[in-house]
Structure 1
Amino acid sequence: MKTFLTAAALGLTLAGSIAATAAEAGTRSRSVSAQGAYGHGYNRSRAVTRQPGSTSVNRDIQTNSGRGVSSSRSANWGDGSYQGGASHTTNNGASWGRSTSAVRNDDGSVNAVTTRTRPDGSTGTVTRETSPY
């Protein structure tokens, strides 16, 4: 019985390490379609791409009635810096999003700037600086 449990634990550990490796790099995508009575329904898709130092996600949902939204998010990091953001666009043309850039300075402080764009086209920017202490 002890040998069986050890082998099972080893198998779970191996499966977990293979899954972790697969999730670390590459692209995974999924599409779902749900259709109901009287023409109601939607189609949804999602694609995730991961690489060392970057990731991106694209999503789309469209209803049978013509409504929908497409979204994308991305992030890149490395060497003490980060850049990321998101954008969303509806079928009627409304769009909004945000972007962030951050850098770690030699003294350990961090400077970051986030800009948000609203559906009406207006923008807002927030600048932050954190000290290392």
Structure 2
Amino acid sequence: MRKTSILAASLSTLAVLTAMVAVPAQAGQHGRLVSVQGARGHGYVHSRDVSRQPGAISVSRGTQTNAGRGVASNRNASWADGAYHGGASRTFNNGASASRSTDVVNNGDGTVSYDYSRTGYDGSTRSVSGTTTRP
């Protein structure tokens, strides 16, 4: 009896794992929240949220410690009709932040236009833009 129940449990576990692997990523939203607490008040909380849609994705993450330190970051990208836009930012609890942005457009004549901008933690900004032929 015991051998039969172990075999049945193994087969049902295999069926569940196979179904999980066979499912493709679909549009939607999901997230996770993790809280780790240790001795003497040490610990942190971490969250992650992901949103996927056809032609776009957005990911937000945040970590906060019990000591008051923390960081929040966001990334996003979208693409459609020969155009791409991507961006990211990170902000700390002390107010320091940095960000970047990228835009690429297929001009339809064998060239691609691009625009890249980055702002550092010190507030300085660097931008690069232009047009180049497609490889």
- Fold match, TM over 0.5? yes
Check if 1:36 corresponds to 2:38.
Answer: yes
RMSD: 1.8
Alignment partner for residue 21 of structure 2, among 7, 16, 20? 16
Q: Per the alignment, do residues 92 and 130 of structure 1 end up closer, same or farther by CA in structure 2, a change over 3 Å counting?
A: same
Amino acid at match of 2:109: D
TM-score after normalising by structure 1 = 0.83
Alignment partner for residue 125 of structure 1, among 120, 124, 127? 127
User: How far did 1:15 drift?
Assistant: 4.2
**Larger Rg over CA atoms:** 2
Alignment partner for residue 88 of structure 1, among 87, 90, 94? 90
Contact 1:87 1:97 in 2 (8 A): yes
Contact 1:25 1:52 in 2 (8 A): yes
- Tell me which residue corresponds to 1:98: 100
- Counterparts of 2:76 and 2:131 in 1: how far apart (Å)? 23
- Tell me which residue corresponds to 1:50: 52
**What does 1:52-71 correspond to in 2, within 5 Å?**
52-71=54-73
TM-score after normalising by structure 2 = 0.82
CA displacement, residues 8-62 of structure 1 (integer Å, 9 cap, x when unaligned):
89x93x54342x1xx2200010010111111111000000000000000010000
- Counterparts of 2:22 and 2:55 in 1: how far apart (Å)? 20
Q: Any gaps of 5 or more consecutive residues in structure 2?
A: 1-13
- Counterparts of 2:38 and 2:48 in 1: how far apart (Å)? 21
User: How far did 1:129 drift?
Assistant: 3.2
Amino acid at match of 1:103: V
